[in-house]
Amino acid sequence: MRLSQFFLPTEKEDRSDAVVASHRLMLRAGMIRQLTSGVYSYLPLGLRAVRKVAQIVREEMDRAGALEVFLPALQPADLWKESGRWDHFGPELVRLKDRNQRDFCLGPTHEEVVTDLVRKEVRSYRQLPLILYQIQTKFRDERRPRFGVMRSREFTMKDAYSFDATEEGAELSYMKMYEAYARIFQRTGLRFRAVEAETGAIGGSFSHEFMVLAESGEDVVVSCTDCTYAANVERAEIGHPKGKNTPPPSSTGPMKKVLTPEMRTVEEVCNFLGVEPSRLIKTLIYVADGRPIAVLVRGDREANEAKIRRVMGCAELMMAEQELVEKITGAPMGFAGPVGLKGRDLIILADREVMEMVDAVTGANEGDHHLVHVDPRRDFSVDRIEDLRVAVAGDPCPRCEHGTLQIWRGIEVGHIFKLGTKYSEAMGATFQDEKGQERPMIMGCYGIGIERTVAAAIEQNHDEDGIIFPMAIAPFQTIVLCLQKERTDVREASERVYGELLSSGIEVLLDDRDERPGIKFKDADLIGIPLRVNVGAKSLSQGKVELRHRDTGQTELIEIGSISQRVKEIVRDKTERDPGSCS
Ligand code: ATP
Ligand code: MG
């Protein structure tokens, strides 16, 4: 491809609304343009990178025995009503009506459509297992589309669905996908980690997320210092404190009510009473599927809503409105506490740590008052004691003896779920087993964000000059710069190198524009092509060209006749051995 004929609108300046590196650089490198909030056009350079990732995904899905299909984005509401998700999915679902006023949606995911397909075609255990996948556009009206293509409203997903006759079969399908994902992200050259994850709105029993480690990631992940435990912080369990098993001493005196005028927040109360936040008991009132609950956590901790949801087995969890809090506690917001709450028609959940506290402070369920010298085991009772808080660095590992949890940030590029029979039961996707008995199929679902993977690769691979594409997903493997276009010898040599690279099967871009060398260098760095061949008068006088590696900045002077051989070697080497890693 000749740059003079290519569509590559690069930009010198960053746009002010682009805060993360991938968004900034994808715009500047002319890969994408925004049409409207969270909706992007892919220009030729961007599309080439996206296609590279899609191709790796396709190869690995095929290798794992999954079969490619292409399912409709336009989906009738009836199917979503059958699964129960028409009402549950919320405003992220893009809903529309056809000319006959029938309800439809644009698929944010395809469990319903694929289950409908399979229930009509598969009758017997002999037709199972089956793994179907597609690479297709998804629509999600995200609350906060941001970070460019990382969180957009229209994006490409590889989604796969497995159907099995037995639990063991379903485990095997899950493992196959897990391994395929590890290969995919290794091949794309990413540093990633598979972590235990929440199952969220899609539901199901078990899941892993594939996280690319990056400061700009929206997800927080914990991992153990000693063992292989790693989880999304939404999921992360907290181990029991190790070592001392002596029961905590009782509080120093009888409970006492004190005046705390207008002191509502943890900070205000602690400052006013001169105590550490770790001595305060926070009382949070939620509504879980319509039922009020109180959740107690230490003042310096955060409640983990995913954990609360799991303990309650509820689909919907919301903070209670002021009115309800006042009705339950009998006090204005900011003065709720667990003492005397029992019996007020709500469920009280306490985080494990709360019941270990001594000499605590908490709201008195009376305006402008708190209680001090509270002893949780003496002064109030709760319905359940559970692990309910967000894990923090240094917490004990839930799986091993000595390890503690570390915290880092990640970008979720892939997600795999064991769904079980949630959809097959709801939608009647059954098969006849060996004994002729009708049974629901056991399902799994597996997603990868194609554009998000490209963006994540850029987050991990860039410098102040621009993108540094891993070879396997680079839009071109090599760029040839004709540095003095006015000179016939340089022009001819550039054409020769370009032609030879093309005929050896290298994906090559020739910068044959009427621009100064400085501009060509800058653009080549910005668009991140892994190898650059500088064809200039000086080295050419010795019959040589300069080969520059975008990642290390190293250069090699190479005989013009050997350049395509050398480039081929490097491309092969780097495609096979890109430094992706899984831990
Ligand atoms: P997130 O928590 O980031 O919203 P999710 O859990 O909703 O992701 P899944 O439903 O598991 O995502 O979708 C599978 C994959 O699709 C994700 O791992 C991610 O790579 C990609 N993806 C999801 N939402 C978006 C989006 N809004 N824009 C781009 N890619 C997305
Ligand atoms: Mg989402």
Average pLDDT value over all residues in the chain: 94
Ligand nearest to the CA of 140: 1
Cα of 569 vs centre of ligand 2, distance in Å, is: 41
In sequence order, the 6+-apart residues with CB closer than 8 A to the CB of 283 are 294, 295, 296, 329, 336, 337, 338, 341, 362, 363
Query: What is the arithmetic mean of pLDDT over 547-554?
Result: 98
- Ligand with minimal distance to 57 CA: 1
Which pLDDT score is estimated for 48?
A: 98
Centre of ligand 2 to C-alpha 455, Å, is 16
Please tell me the residue having the least CA distance from ligand 1 atom 31: 449
| Minimum CA distance residue for ligand 1 atom 3 | 412
Atom of ligand 1 nearest to the CA of 218: 3
pLDDT over 90 at 244, yes or no: no
253 alpha carbon – ligand 2 mean position (Å):
49
Q: What's the CA-to-centroid distance between 200 and ligand 2, angstroms?
A: 9
pLDDT, mean of residues 472-483: 98
| Closest ligand relative to 157 C-alpha | 1
Of 492, 569, 582, which Cα lies nearest the Cα of 549?
A: 569
Q: Which atom of ligand 1 is closest in space to residue 413's alpha carbon?
A: 20
CA of 23 to the centre of ligand 2 (A): 18
Per-residue pLDDT of 68-97, as tens digits, reads 999 999 999 999 999 999 998 989 999 999
Question: Ligand 1: distance of its center to the CA of 449 in Å?
Answer: 6
**How large is the average pLDDT for residues 177-198?**
95
Using pLDDT thresholds of 50, 70 and 90, give the confidence band for residue 204: low
pTM for the whole structure: 0.91
Determine the pLDDT at residue 245: 57
pLDDT for 580 beyond 70: no
Mutate to test the pocket of ligand 1, among 151, 190, 412 (most ligand atoms within 8 A of CB): 412
pLDDT of residue 307: 93
Which of these ranges, 121-125, 198-202, 457-461, 533-537, has the smallest mean pLDDT? 198-202
Given a cut of 70, whether residue 247 has pLDDT beyond it is no
- The pLDDT of 557-568, averaged and rounded, is 97
pLDDT of residue 315: 82
Following DSSP, what letter does each residue of 362-416 receive, concatenated? EE-SSTTEEEEEE-HHHH---SEEE--B---TTPBPSSSSS-BEEEEEEEEEEEE
Distances (CA, A) of 380 to 296, 335, 338, 341, 375: 12, 16, 6, 8, 8
- Residue having the nearest C-alpha atom to atom 8 of ligand 1: 412
pLDDT above 70: residue 248: no
As to burial, measured by CB atoms within 10 angstroms (0-12 exposed, 13-18 middle, 19+ buried), residue 207 is: buried
Distance from residue 427's CA to the centre of ligand 1 (Å): 24
* Residue in 380, 383, 364 with CA at minimum distance from that of residue 372: 364
pLDDT at 111: 98
User: Is residue 440 over pLDDT 60?
Assistant: yes
Specify the pLDDT at position 88: 87
Burial of 275 (0-12, 13-18, 19+ CB in 10 A): middle
pLDDT at 554 (0 to 100) = 97
d(CA 365, CA 326): 9
| Pocket test residue of 135, 199, 415 for ligand 1, highest count of atoms within 8 A of CB | 415
Q: Note the ligand closest to the C-alpha atom of 92.
A: 2
Using one digit for the tens of pLDDT, what is the confidence trace for 42-61?
999 999 999 999 999 999 99
Centroid of ligand 1 to alpha carbon of 178 (angstroms): 17
For residue 429, the CA-to-ligand 1 centroid distance in Å is 26
Range 129-136 average pLDDT: 98
Residue whose CA is closest, atom 4 of ligand 1?
151
Instruction: Measure 83 CA to ligand 2 centroid, in angstroms.
Output: 19
pLDDT surpassing 70 at residue 551? yes
pLDDT tens digits along 315-371: 889 999 999 999 999 999 999 999 999 888 899 999 999 999 989 999 999 999 999
**What pLDDT does 243 receive?**
62
Residues framing ligand 1 (Cβ under 6 A): 109, 140, 142, 151-152, 155, 157, 412-415, 447-449, 452
pLDDT of 202 above 90: no
| pLDDT, position 403 | 95
Q: How far apart are CA 46 and CA 474, in angstroms?
A: 10
Nearest residue (CA) to ligand 1, atom 29: 151
Tokens of 258: 């004190």
Atom of ligand 1 nearest to the CA of 153: 27
Give 387's contacts (C-beta < 8 A, 6+ positions apart): 237, 238, 307, 351, 352
The C-alpha atoms of residue 85 and residue 83 are separated, in whole angstroms, by 6
The phi, psi pair for 401, rounded to 5°, reads -70, -50
pLDDT at 318: 95
| CA of 303 relative to ligand 2 center, distance in Å | 21
Residue nearest to atom 25 of ligand 1 (CA): 151
